[in-house]
Amino acid sequence: MGAEMTTDGESAAESEHWAAGVEYDGRRFAGWQRQNDQLTVQGVVEQALSQVAAQPVAIAAAGRTDAGVHACGQVISFSSEARRNADNWIKGCNGILRRAGYGVSLSWIRPVAPAFHARFSATARRYLYVLEPADHPRGLNRGLVTSAGHLDVEAMTRATRYFVGEQDFSALRGSGCQSSTPWRCVHFARLHRAGRYLVFDVQANAFLLHMVRNMVGALLAIGSDRLPAERLPELIAGRDRRCLPATAAPDGLYLADVSYGSGLPERCIPNKPVQPLPPILAALGGLDAFV
């Protein structure tokens, strides 16, 4: 299809369509989603892209993370009539973000089909939650992990299997969730040892508001002997949020990866890079360290 014609007969530029990976330290932000009078990740990324494009750029994201939540594998999509190549976008956007000191950067960018949408084309999201089960947590980890003291890891590991599968997760749904259904399909939920850290690794087709943090809240109660692991299925089936433990802090939660394995070329990202682990776990390599 050719370029559209403007009212004066000149051809209008066609939009180019892009997907990009975004990583960020969430400690300074009031969450992902743009808000009036609040510093948000979406807001600063859109500002940077708009400066590079010399025209407004609006972005869609695979997931809307809460205040204080981090990402090493967030995915965005956007369209722009500005003629910029991948190198222009990466260098220009990251230069602006680095000078502003936001702790945000684009990790990669790829051209995609017009039908691609970071949120609606996604088939799975994967989160990591990093716990530090130690009596004397490291001060430099503040905001990057959740300190938990000593935990019964065996009991927590038994409990993770109760999250897996397609079920009604109303009992793990935060108040204010706007999803039309509480049903989600959890592909896997597991615990990993990583040096001094314990990592909860969970993937689902999508998540409800605070769902991962509420899962961790339940695991922490089980690990500290405040809740028997075997009661978890009953509590989830009861669909009453008030019957489960408090929501875990956002500290230590990372959006780690987003999958686009639908099999439809127009909804995939060509040569999408393998996502790295959060910096605090980077010595282990990439996400394949936890496969």
Distance linking the first and last C-alpha atoms of the chain:
43
**Beta-strand pair 253-259/70-80:** parallel
Catalytic option among 8, 25, 37, 66 = 66
Contacting residues for 133 by C-beta, under 8 A, at least 6 apart: 148, 149, 150, 151, 153, 198, 223
Buried b (16+ CB within 10 A) or exposed e, 206-234: bbbbbbbbbbbbbbbbbbbeebebebbee
- Residue 17 burial by CB count (10 A; 0-12/13-18/19+): exposed, middle or buried? middle
Report the C-alpha gap between 280 and 253 in whole angstroms.
Answer: 12
Report the C-alpha gap between 63 and 60 in whole angstroms.
Answer: 9
SS3 130: strand
Please say whether the beta carbons of 269 and 116 come within 8 A: yes
- Mark whether 225 is an active-site residue: no
Residue with tokens 């990009």: 20
Hey, which residues are catalytic here? 66
